[in-house]
Amino acid sequence: MYMDSAYWHNKTMDFKDKNHPLFVGSCGTYHLFTRPKLPTHRPRGRLDYQLLYIASGKAHFYFHGVEEIVPAGNMVLYRPKEEQRYYYYGIDHTEVYWVHFTGNNVKNILRKYGIKDDVHVIHTGTSLDYKRIFQQMIQELKLCKEDYEEVLVNYLQLLFITIHRLIKDKPLGQNLFLMDEIAASVKYFHENYNKPISIEEYADSHHMSVSWFIRSFKKYTGSTPTQYILSLRISNAQTLLESTSYNVSEISSIVGYDNPLYFSRIFKKQNGISPSEFRKQLNDYAMKEQKL
């Protein structure tokens, strides 16, 4: 399992802030590969809000005692004192990003960005932009540079704005047709991400114009087809780096890149570190877990 997290003043306990309209307390990410199960159950919830983004795989949530399987491309919002019960399974290769936040005006801020009071699951589509925002928050909270608390709030508001734009831009009219077409393309990309894929040829073979397909795909998933395929390749490369002994060149070929150097550049651009550094971090973390 890969984990990366950061906490305000290293305080792992939840808290309620009444001095700021919005305040970020902690954030992080989990990516399950070999660990069979990661359960969370807080019967009395927390004092703060929690927003989780399912970047890949899926997660099992329970709302009012009823299980709901939430796939990648969705976010889940928990409010203060709500029971939190959810599970991640290694077999799903679940990748999740999360942020805890509080403040004296959170409810109105969420309403402002189109997030209704009774909503738990928010369809956002899968996007590298979401991952970048979460990764930037984690890094900011780790470094604690000048004005970092304000920067964290700005990143969180950017996340809210991105969600709001997607909510406002959801296609109307032929929505069911659109969802079926894009769902089929998502399935195809998942099954063939490591092969050469021509977006133009795919659109033409399904009797769609290229511009309509790209525009519709982005409305549904939050990213272009090319960005989505890139996300799949990088995500699966991360899985192979942790769960196999393949070297970087072999993994590059497996996920669809003939040139290992180009693969390493793309990987570093998306993750901030090279594939070798990523594997070293995983190994270091595994050694720490063994010592505990």
Q: Tell me the range of 89-93, 262-266, 276-280 where mean pLDDT is highest.
A: 262-266
What are the tens digits of pLDDT across the range 108-118? 999 999 999 99
Cα–Cα separations (whole angstroms), residue 174 to 177, 180, 181, 236: 5, 10, 11, 33
What average pLDDT is seen over the chain?
A: 88
CA dihedral 217→219→223→229, nearest 10 degrees, is: -20
Which of 151, 168, 185 is where one domain is finished?
Answer: 168
pLDDT reading at 196 higher than 80: yes
Note the pLDDT of residue 222: 72
Q: Are 232 and 164 in a shared domain?
A: no
Q: Which domain holds residue 282?
A: 175-291
Reported as a pLDDT band with limits 50, 70 and 90, residue 291 is: low
Domain count of the fold of the chain: 2
Note the pLDDT of residue 254: 94
Which of 126, 149, 168 is where one domain is finished?
Answer: 168
Note the pLDDT of residue 176: 54
Q: Are 6 and 112 in a shared domain?
A: yes
Query: Distance between CA 104 and CA 19 in Å, rounded?
Result: 7
What are the tens digits of pLDDT across the range 116-155? 999 999 988 777 778 889 989 998 998 899 999 999 999 9
Backbone phi, psi, residue 46, to 5°: -130, 170
Contact between residue 210 and residue 203 where contact means Cβ atoms under 8 Å apart: yes
- Residue of 183, 185, 182 whose CA lies nearest to 193: 185
Note the pLDDT of residue 106: 98
Kindly report the pTM of this predicted structure.
0.71
Note the pLDDT of residue 173: 47
Q: Are 182 and 260 in a shared domain?
A: yes
pLDDT reading at 171 higher than 60: no
Residue whose pair of structure tokens reads 């954030």 in the numeric block: 27
Q: Are 145 and 198 in a shared domain?
A: no
Q: Tell me the range of 1-15, 89-103, 126-140 where mean pLDDT is highest.
A: 89-103
Cα–Cα separations (whole angstroms), residue 254 to 58, 116, 233, 237, 241: 23, 43, 9, 8, 11
Q: Are 164 and 201 in a shared domain?
A: no
